[in-house]
Chain A
């Protein structure tokens, strides 16, 4: 539990919240972060994995472009292990207008985004799956960025400085007296127990859910959540980020992230960030657009479709229709003292993972000023914990490390993602108790082509051993039956995996699901387990969880 008074309560465990907790902790403040689900389970964990160079925004949003490139440089310095330095290309297909490509380099230059034109033949040699009809290609410093590791590195730095972060704690009430917030009630969604926290200051870093937090404080904040749907391909058909050289639109970017490639995105306004669905039409539209970049795309295998909800916000009125792309991708720090007469509440809205640190810095500056703290921001200076290795991520590292340790398949728990028993034990030691979905986000277990088919029962067995051995596990404390707990964990996990892929599955992926379904229904009899869902699952978003 949290010792001592809480200077600042940060609501939201995405990249911004985690970055803010780190920033405030480094300024000597004693803070607590609460997240209603797992860390990074919201929008931060549901994006395409792009570390922006800013080149996507140079034509329409030069400020956002400039900020992206600044932060791109910073993140390469402070979080190299979260980044695969893939480089990115903007390519002009026959469907793209000549004038956009003609003006592209100048626009990049105006926003300080380094870009250079490269011979098309050279790119085609590097990326043989690309459309051979591409006419021009520009190289930019795009990269792939792993969100969960980044979030946990920020939290680790904050924890080392005396702050705390609680996952699975949802804010259910905020106590307000006139223009001042006094306390919040948070419920542990796993146990149902409620804690009252006296707080000095609150920052809502809740992204698309910021409006809901503001409402609890009696403040009106109209968010305009924009749903972006993405498709995960089971294998990389490109090792560099590939963008269409045109005004950003649907299905015009492919990001190689770890072992998969992610095609993004759509942009559809939704009223409720918890209530949306991915339609087949959207998926088909993405594939059709993506095929302009990679002609074989319609034959390639889609593992999952998922969506993230962009925390878009416009102070003056809400946009009409689905034209979310008209709203700036830049962020805004909202001081509810000046705006709404609540003196200890700030919201941070808008933005993107690439600029999370800058958003945190600007937010922390506002909070510091209001709290009379004069310490400057230091988050751009020091490398994040666990990132000291100093080099960027590279695709083959897991396979190479496993091979150097002797190789073989005996120690592999998740074959698709090369999660070994020792990696799994390391994660469980550090994070136990946790759900299998948390294990997935932490290790990538179950994210490959079989979507947990061959690893879920293995990890369930390993978890069962851990529960049976006691030591602070839920079973040891609650006296629950080990088998029932493991059954539940396994059922939850495998059903969640199925949810993201069943609606879009066709071809091989559908065959895969039939086989996996045969393993779990036919061999393991999972359907005959009691269907009871524990109460904490209510309101969780894992059904739309990515990857």
Chain B
């Protein structure tokens, strides 16, 4: 059994009762990137296993007649960024980040969600509308006056890293692409199912095409079935009911492929982690469909490294003579798959990839976009930003989209998905020497 299998197994266990296991050893507090920089978050031990003892076992909110009782006793749990380090560090296997997330959902349940949080959860909706009006939307997102207005009215910080919308979605481009599988789908040994997620569809189709290039180079056709947002932004914002609808929709499509032996490969580490663990753990959709999809899902770098381990990866990479500071995002660590991108970079001649060895860039999905959390997020990521600035590198790399946007904005250094680097290295082998990737 691999560590990744253990992660999947653990996803099926009871989150709330795992607080039972806390020894109060404080390891979680010592690894928490948020508690380190702000007093507004009292730390994972406090909001997790300690506060859990004051929450109802059913997860329901106490209803007291004639009392202005808050639906939840605690608000400070809202300052948990959800990076998940506490859970990975806990020697007693308390699901601290998951407890926090559930508590936040309980806090929101029954209240009308704050418009900002609702909006940030609707990445597919905002993406779809954004792409339709991409030129004007991109202008608006960069306009300082409008951003100040959005900060005041919506609560999204004026300097928060909002990505640039693509002119056309990945899906519409893919339909017209010559690589698009027509007619009968190849079998699971010759094709993979690609889960692009919202980022690649609406903002970074280049990442999706880089992944497709790399997969096809290694003999895999790519099937892009209908899919919706994985639901993680909704989960992070405590909107479980909406997240379950998305999950059901995705499982309905993906489970069938999984049962037929297809592997589901994604370029967003957070989407793939959601498919692997969060559907069961957070949304409690622990049925055959959810298990089948969890077992079939791979992060793109995990998949490529597995090919390499079995001697099946095409290692004819061209030379990329450059420094490449690399940040491993929080979600990647929750996968329990190590740092496969670094192992893959080591196969590229000339590429000097350096693990920046910093815990969190601060953004944590939508956390760092929020007005009241922006400064915290920037403080969390500052040591990372300093290292990247000091490196003088022209490009950095990171597996997770929101982290890439945060790093790029904070350091003015273009930040790529590892698969884009690999695609460029393959292209270099095909087309001969060229300049460094930028």
* Contacting pair B69 A300 (CB below 8 A): no
* Contacting pair B55 A396 (CB below 8 A): yes
Write the chain B residue with the least CB distance to A401: B73
A351 to chain B, nearest CB (A): 31
In the complex, A236 has a CB within 8 A of chain B: yes
Interface-facing stretch out of A15-23, A126-134, A160-168:
A126-134
In the complex, A527 has a CB within 8 A of chain B: no
In the complex, B45 has a CB within 8 A of chain A: yes
A109 to chain B, nearest CB (A): 27
In the complex, B383 has a CB within 8 A of chain A: no
In the complex, B390 has a CB within 8 A of chain A: no
B58 contacts across to A, CB distance below 8 A: 125-128, 239
B56 contacts across to A, CB distance below 8 A: 236, 239, 395-396
Given contacts A239-B57, A391-B67, contact A409 B46 (CB under 8 A): yes
Complex Cα distance A301/B93, Å? 14
Binary contact readout A365-404 vs B (1 if CB under 8 angstroms, 0 otherwise): 0000000000000000000000000011011111110010
B62 to chain A, nearest CB (A): 5
Write the chain A residue with the least CB distance to B19: A235
B45 contacts across to A, CB distance below 8 A: 415
List the interface of chain B (C-beta within 8 A of A): 14, 17, 19-25, 39, 42-43, 45-46, 50-58, 60, 62, 64-67, 69-70, 72-76, 92
Contact of B62 among A296, A394, A398 (CB under 8 A): A394
A87 to chain B, nearest CB (A): 12
Complex Cα distance A164/B57, Å? 41
A498 contacts across to B, CB distance below 8 A: none
B75 contacts across to A, CB distance below 8 A: 403, 407
Contact of B17 among A125, A260, A296, A408 (CB under 8 A): A296
Contact of A395 among B14, B22, B24, B62 (CB under 8 A): B62
Q: List 26 A-B contacts (CB under 8 A).
A: A127-B57, A128-B58, A129-B17, A234-B20, A235-B52, A235-B57, A236-B56, A237-B17, A239-B58, A300-B17, A391-B65, A394-B69, A396-B54, A396-B73, A398-B73, A403-B73, A403-B76, A409-B43, A415-B24, A415-B46, A416-B24, A418-B50, A448-B53, A508-B21, A508-B92, A515-B24
Interface-facing stretch out of A181-189, A285-293, A449-457:
A449-457
* Contacting pair A236 B57 (CB below 8 A): yes
B20 to chain A, nearest CB (A): 5
Complex Cα distance A449/B73, Å? 20
Q: Please provide the chain A residues from 225 to 245 with a CB less than 8 Å away from any CB of chain B in the complex.
A: 234-239
Q: Please provide the chain A residues from 110 to 148 with a CB less than 8 Å away from any CB of chain B in the complex.
A: 125-129
B376 to chain A, nearest CB (A): 15
- Overall SS of chain B's interface: loop
* Contacting pair A512 B24 (CB below 8 A): yes
A191 contacts across to B, CB distance below 8 A: none
A453 contacts across to B, CB distance below 8 A: 24
Complex Cα distance A418/B52, Å? 12
Complex Cα distance A378/B55, Å? 38
* Contacting pair A259 B53 (CB below 8 A): yes
In the complex, A511 has a CB within 8 A of chain B: yes
A418 contacts across to B, CB distance below 8 A: 50, 54
Complex Cα distance A394/B71, Å? 12
B15 to chain A, nearest CB (A): 12
Complex Cα distance A410/B35, Å? 12
Complex Cα distance A104/B306, Å? 63
B26 to chain A, nearest CB (A): 9
Given contacts A236-B57, A395-B62, contact A301 B20 (CB under 8 A): yes
* Contacting pair A235 B24 (CB below 8 A): no
Write the chain A residue with the least CB distance to B23: A512
Binary contact readout A479-523 vs B (1 if CB under 8 angstroms, 0 otherwise): 000000000000000000000000000001001100100000000
Given contacts A396-B73, A408-B39, A409-B42, contact A235 B17 (CB under 8 A): yes
Write the chain A residue with the least CB distance to B25: A515
Write the chain A residue with the least CB distance to B49: A449
Q: Please provide the chain A residues from 244 to 272 with a CB less than 8 Å away from any CB of chain B in the complex.
A: 256, 259-260
A135 to chain B, nearest CB (A): 21
> Considering residues A129, A391, A403, A448, which has the most beta carbons from chain B within 10 angstroms of its beta carbon?
A403
B317 to chain A, nearest CB (A): 48
Complex Cα distance A167/B15, Å? 44
* Contacting pair B74 A399 (CB below 8 A): yes
Given contacts A409-B43, A409-B46, A415-B24, contact A238 B73 (CB under 8 A): no
A64 to chain B, nearest CB (A): 30
Q: Please provide the chain A residues from 438 to 475 with a CB less than 8 Å away from any CB of chain B in the complex.
A: 448-450, 453-454
A511 contacts across to B, CB distance below 8 A: 23, 92
Complex Cα distance A58/B150, Å? 65
Complex Cα distance A395/B58, Å? 13
A331 to chain B, nearest CB (A): 33
* Contacting pair A408 B70 (CB below 8 A): no
Top 8 A-B residue pairs of the complex, sorted by shortest distance between their CB atoms: A396-B73, A400-B73, A399-B73, A259-B53, A399-B54, A409-B42, A407-B76, A301-B20
Given contacts A399-B73, A449-B22, 4 further A-B contacts (CB under 8 A): A125-B58, A391-B65, A415-B46, A508-B92
Complex Cα distance A332/B14, Å? 48
* Contacting pair A129 B57 (CB below 8 A): yes
Given contacts A301-B21, A508-B23, A511-B23, contact A400 B53 (CB under 8 A): no
B24 contacts across to A, CB distance below 8 A: 415-416, 449-450, 453-454, 512, 515
A484 to chain B, nearest CB (A): 29
* Contacting pair A400 B17 (CB below 8 A): no
A259 contacts across to B, CB distance below 8 A: 53-54
* Contacting pair A515 B23 (CB below 8 A): yes
Complex Cα distance A453/B26, Å? 13
B50 contacts across to A, CB distance below 8 A: 415-416, 418
* Contacting pair A395 B23 (CB below 8 A): no
B39 contacts across to A, CB distance below 8 A: 408, 410
A260 contacts across to B, CB distance below 8 A: 53
* Contacting pair B42 A408 (CB below 8 A): yes
Complex Cα distance A398/B75, Å? 13
Complex Cα distance A62/B75, Å? 47
Complex Cα distance A434/B28, Å? 35
A397 contacts across to B, CB distance below 8 A: 73
> Considering residues B25, B43, B54, which has the most beta carbons from chain A within 10 angstroms of its beta carbon?
B54
* Contacting pair B74 A300 (CB below 8 A): no
Write the chain B residue with the least CB distance to A396: B73
A450 contacts across to B, CB distance below 8 A: 23-24
A456 to chain B, nearest CB (A): 13
Complex Cα distance A416/B42, Å? 14
Write the chain B residue with the least CB distance to A407: B76
* Contacting pair B25 A400 (CB below 8 A): no
Complex Cα distance A523/B69, Å? 42
B150 to chain A, nearest CB (A): 28
Given contacts A409-B43, A415-B46, contact A300 B20 (CB under 8 A): yes
Complex Cα distance A398/B55, Å? 11
B42 contacts across to A, CB distance below 8 A: 407-409
Write the chain A residue with the least CB distance to B18: A235
B65 contacts across to A, CB distance below 8 A: 391
B23 contacts across to A, CB distance below 8 A: 449-450, 508, 511-512, 515
Given contacts A235-B20, A235-B52, A301-B21, contact A391 B74 (CB under 8 A): no
* Contacting pair A403 B74 (CB below 8 A): yes
Write the chain A residue with the least CB distance to B52: A235
Complex Cα distance A400/B23, Å? 23
Q: Please provide the chain A residues from 297 to 335 with a CB less than 8 Å away from any CB of chain B in the complex.
A: 300-301
Given contacts A399-B74, A408-B42, contact A416 B64 (CB under 8 A): no
* Contacting pair B53 A235 (CB below 8 A): yes
A69 to chain B, nearest CB (A): 22
A408 contacts across to B, CB distance below 8 A: 39, 42, 76
B76 contacts across to A, CB distance below 8 A: 403, 407-408
Binary contact readout A21-60 vs B (1 if CB under 8 angstroms, 0 otherwise): 0000000000000000000000000000000000000000
A513 to chain B, nearest CB (A): 10
A301 contacts across to B, CB distance below 8 A: 20-21
Contact of B70 among A300, A395, A400 (CB under 8 A): A400
